[in-house]
Structures are given as C-alpha cells and as structure tokens.
Amino acid sequence: MESSTLALHTDKYQINMMYAHWINGSHERKAVFETYFRKLPFGNGYAVFAGLERIVEYVRGLRFTEADIAYLAKQEEDYAPAFLELLKQFKFRGTIHAMPEGSLVFPNEPLIRVEGTIFETQLVETALLNFMNYQTLIATKASRIKQVAWNDVLMEFGTRRAQEADAAIWGARAAYIAGFDATSNMLAGEKFGIPTKGTHAHSWVQIFGSEKEAFEVYAKALPDQVTLLVDTFDTLKSGVPHAIQTAKHLEAQGKRMGGIRLDSGDLAYLSIEARKMLDEAGLHYVKITASNDLDENTIFNLKAQGAKIDSWGVGTQLITASDQPSLGGVYKLVEREMNGKMEPTIKISGNPEKVTTPGKKDVFRIVDRQSGKAVADYMCFPNEEEPRRGGRLRLFNPLHPYLQKYVQNYDAVPMLVPIFVNGEQVYELPTLESIREYHKQQLSMFWPQYLRKLNPEIYRVNMSQTVWELKQKLIADHLKEEE
C-alpha cells in the first residue's frame, strides 16, 4: 500500500476534532502527546519496540489526495470548503522523537513523543498506535520464541494465518528484528531484504504417483536447497526412508540434501527416531525442521524432551500473537498551549493506572558503568540536569518510598531520539541488519532475571522527583476544582 494514501487511515473522530478546532480557531495551538503501554504482553519482562520505519514512511507521505478530499466532502456536509482546502495543503510540520526499533521497552514510559499543532498531532494518533502496537507485539512474541530456540534456525511461516497482508509483511519484519532468521513471505523478502526460506507442501507429494517420485523430482529441480516434507503418509516407515534414498542420489551427484520437515505427530519422538535413521545412513549433515502450531512453550517442551530439531517453522501462533492478540499502547496529551505558553496537562481517572503523567518527558536508560548493565529507565523533564550531568540519582517508587535506591557512576543513555524536527526528517533509518544487531546489544545490557520468560523480575521505570511532584500537584488542583 502506498504510504501517501494513508491520510484517511485514522478514526473519524480525529477529523471531526480537527474540524471543530478549525471552526473554533484553536487548530494551531501547540500540543505534546506521548505514546506508551501500561502492561507488558505475554507476562514478558520487556517488549521489543518496532514500527518506527512504517511510522516514518507514513508521516513523510502524509497528504490528502483529491480523492480523499472529495470523499470527506461527501461524507460530512458540515465540513466547510475552506477546511477541506486546508487539508489539501496539509503537511506534517511537527517534531517526533522515538525509541529506535529493536529497543527493549517497558510499561509507562514514552516510546514516541509527538509535538506540533493540535491539528496535526491529533490526526496521526490512530495510525501511529496501529503501527506501533502491532509490530511491537509481534517483535515481543518473536523475542520470546528466540529465547527458547537459542541458536536454532527460526523461520517465520505465518502469512496464511495473518490478519491480512500488511500484518503478514510487517509481522515478518518484526520477527526478523527480534532474531528470526528467515521468512517464507517473498514480498517481505523483496521489500525488506529478509532472507527467505521454504520447503514444500503436502500437495507436492500428493500430486505424484508416489512419495518417492515426488522427492526425486523435487530434489532434481532444487538440488541445492531441498528440504523434504516427510509426514504425508507415514513419517518413519515411508517419509524418512524415501528422503534417505533421495539424499543418497544427491550425494552421488556430489550434492548435499538440506533437510527433512516434520509437520505432525509427536515431534520429539519422531525427530529422535528420524535423527537416528539419518545418522545410521551417514547423513549427519541433513537437518531436521519441525512445524505445526509451534510457539515458545511447545519449542521449550520439545527441547526438554530431547527433540533433535535444528530448525523451526513458526506461523499462526507468532503472527497472530495468539495468546495476547493486541498491545494496549495509548497516545496521551501531556502538554498544551494555553495563552501562548506551554503547560502540562493531566487526565484523571477512577482507575489509578489510567491517570496520565503530565509534562513533556525525556527517557534515559541508566547503565551502570562497571557492569555495563541497565539499572533503570528514568523519566524527567527536558530541563532537568541531573541525569545529563551524571549526578547522583535517586530512584524511588512513589507508592512505596522505602523502595529507593541511589545510583552514581552511570551512563544516562537518551532513549528518545529525534526523528522529525519541524516536519523535516532528521533520522536516517537504520538498515534492518543494524536494527537486529542493535536489538542483540540491547538484550546484552540486561541481567537475565529481566529477560526470563517465566515470572521475570520487574525492571525499574522511575520518574524524577520533579515529575512526581508535578503529577501530585495537578491531581490536587483537580480535586480542589471539584470541591
């Protein structure tokens, strides 16, 4: 999909608010929004931030086409022609900061910060959340799978089960960021340069008179990359013996068969038996691939059972993040222009978790210089000097003040980097390979207790005393107003 056609990829209420602001004359007022999520997905200890490349493409191409304008005019008679004329001229002129893709990220810290007129900042909310929430979710799921698969080969096979084409393609990219090695989706391969891999389907075997013939024909056509699916009839009695025969024929031509794929039955038992048969035939180099509704739990269990599987094809469970199919990232107003001056703003809620943290904030990752490990993420206002100077920092939990800790001798790594400044893109999009590399480095900066899949330790995300006090003050002001 062309990014320039995405201007209407927004909720109607955004356009209505833009219109009402325009009618009211308030559309040029400045605003600052921050995106964050409140709860980590899958009970994981971290999330893997993804979606920025798509966001950059979207913002760069954000224009209303003639067709968009005509559609809006037809949709709402209320929209005045002069408003539609303004939309025709629309270009995003704001400033965006975001975490780099592949960053490990945590609840309640800004991942993207958008500054600009209320007109433009309101418009982009829906699409930004759509891209960030999906891609971050899939990258996080993929990261959990990578954790259990270690150095085995991981192939993303999800396209047929993905929630439509964009999800398949951007999901394949998110999985690759988090450590998958390849995708079966050729368009994702072409678009992003992700390595592609594939075996063959049951239909390949079924269309021939025999499994043996099917294997031979396939190996003849693709002698340098053949992985044969051995479970169409009977894995151990027919599939593996036929695959061994084909491998021997290839050997006679000086070629090596790549592997076999198991796609049903007890994958632990079958892989152990198949490995024995292959080894006995001297085919130590032939790899075993497994697929069939795999996820991090089945892979972990199969490994615990001693399965002899070298490579995993993972589809449905990954691409649909089936155990938690959405990430609840939100986009909240934290500062507004009032009488020509910027001031913090808060949203109060009956649910304490939903009370926002006012003011435009920076996020620093506090990294202990001695160990090189991350200690906490620290949110403070742009004018707060402490972390920038490397001064002694107090990390405290406002709800449990005795849980405090002082840190010094640290590096404060700014996590929100400038992407657009006054509408100009200032961020050079990294290559996918360097994003993967950066993600690996990120993982190495965390102690294992934050990374483990089951019951991970909670990593600290702290706010400065000043941020906390402002939040309390705005809550108190609000209560006074209510009296």
Ligand X SMILES: O=P(O)(O)OC[C@H]1O[C@H](OP(=O)(O)OP(=O)(O)O)[C@H](O)[C@@H]1O
Ligand Y SMILES: O=C(O)c1cccnc1
**Residues engaged in binding ligand X (CB under 6 A):** 157, 160-161, 263, 291-294, 313-317
26-34, 65-73, 298-306, 347-355 -> range binding ligand ATP (CB under 6 A): 298-306
Question: Does the footprint of ligand Y cover residue 320 (CB under 6 A)?
Answer: no
Q: How many CB atoms lie within 10 A of CB 453?
A: 17
472-481: long-range contacts at Cβ-Cβ below 8 A with a sequence spacing of 24 or more? 474/344, 474/345, 474/346, 474/358, 475/346, 475/348, 475/355, 478/346, 478/348
What amino acid occupies position 155? M
Looking at the Cβ atoms of 4 and 264, the one nearer to ligand ATP is 264
Binding partner of 239, given ligand Y, ligand ATP, ligand X, none, CB within 5-8 angstroms per partner class: none
Query: How many other β-carbons are positioned within 10 Å of the β-carbon of residue 75?
Result: 12
Categorise residue 291: left if φ over 0, alpha if ψ from -120 to 50, beta otherwise: beta
Among the listed ranges 27-35, 64-72, 137-145, 291-299, the one in contact with ligand ATP (CB under 6 A) is 291-299
Sheet strands (E) in 201-308: 227-229, 259-262, 287-290
d(CA 342, CA 360): 10
Q: Find the part of the chain contacting ligand ATP (CB under 6 A) among 235-243, 266-274, 308-316, 429-437.
A: 266-274
Interacting partner of 135 out of ligand ATP, ligand Y, ligand X, none (Cβ under 5 to 8 A depending on kind)? none
> CB-wise, 48 or 314, nearer to ligand ATP?
314
Measuring CA to CA, how many Å separate 281 from each of 64, 215, 241, 251, 277?
Answer: 64, 17, 10, 12, 6
Residues within window 234-263 making contact with ligand Y, judged by CB under 6 A: 261
CB nearer to ligand Y: give 261 or 275. 261
Number of residues that bind ligand Y (CB under 6 A): 8
Q: Of the candidates 95, 122, 199, 442, which one interacts with ligand Y according to CB under 6 A? A: 199
Q: Starting at the edge strand that comes first in sequence, how are the strands of the sheet with 182-183 ordered? A: 182-183, 153-156, 311-314, 287-290, 259-262, 227-229
Secondary element (H or E) of residue 32 = strand 30-36
Selection from ligand Y, ligand ATP, ligand X, none that 302 binds (CB < 5 to 8 A by kind) is ligand ATP
Residue choice 234, 293, 343, 457 for contact with ligand ATP (CB under 6 A): 293
User: Binding partner of residue 139 among ligand X, ligand ATP, ligand Y, none, CB under 5 to 8 Å per kind?
Assistant: none
> Residue 145 CB, nearest distance to ligand ATP (Å)?
13
Shortest approach of ligand X to residue 171 CB, angstroms? 12
One of 110, 116, 315, 387 touching ligand Y (CB under 6 A): 315
Instruction: Identify which of residues 239 and 315 has a Cβ nearer to ligand X in the complex.
Output: 315
Identify the three-state secondary structure at position 16.
helix
What is the token pair recorded at 366?
């506090």
Q: Least distance from C-beta 158 to ligand X, angstroms?
A: 6
CA-wise closest residue to 357 among 379, 340, 375, 378: 379
DSSP string, 309-364: -SEEEE-HHHHTTTTS-----EEEEEEEEETTEEEE-----SSGGG----S--EEE
Distance between CA atoms of 365 and 372, rounded to whole angstroms? 11
Task: Return the number of other C-beta atoms located less than 10 Å from residue 170's C-beta.
Answer: 22
Q: Determine the length of the chain.
A: 483
Which one of 92-100, 169-177, 263-271, 429-437 is the stretch in contact with ligand ATP (CB under 6 A)? 263-271
Q: Does 75 bind ligand ATP (CB under 6 A)?
A: no
Q: Which of residues 103-142 bind ligand ATP (CB under 6 A)?
A: none
Residue closest to ligand X, measured at CB:
315
Binding site for ligand ATP (CB under 6 A): 264-268, 292-294, 298, 301-302, 305
Binding site for ligand Y (CB under 6 A): 157, 184, 198-199, 261, 291, 313, 315
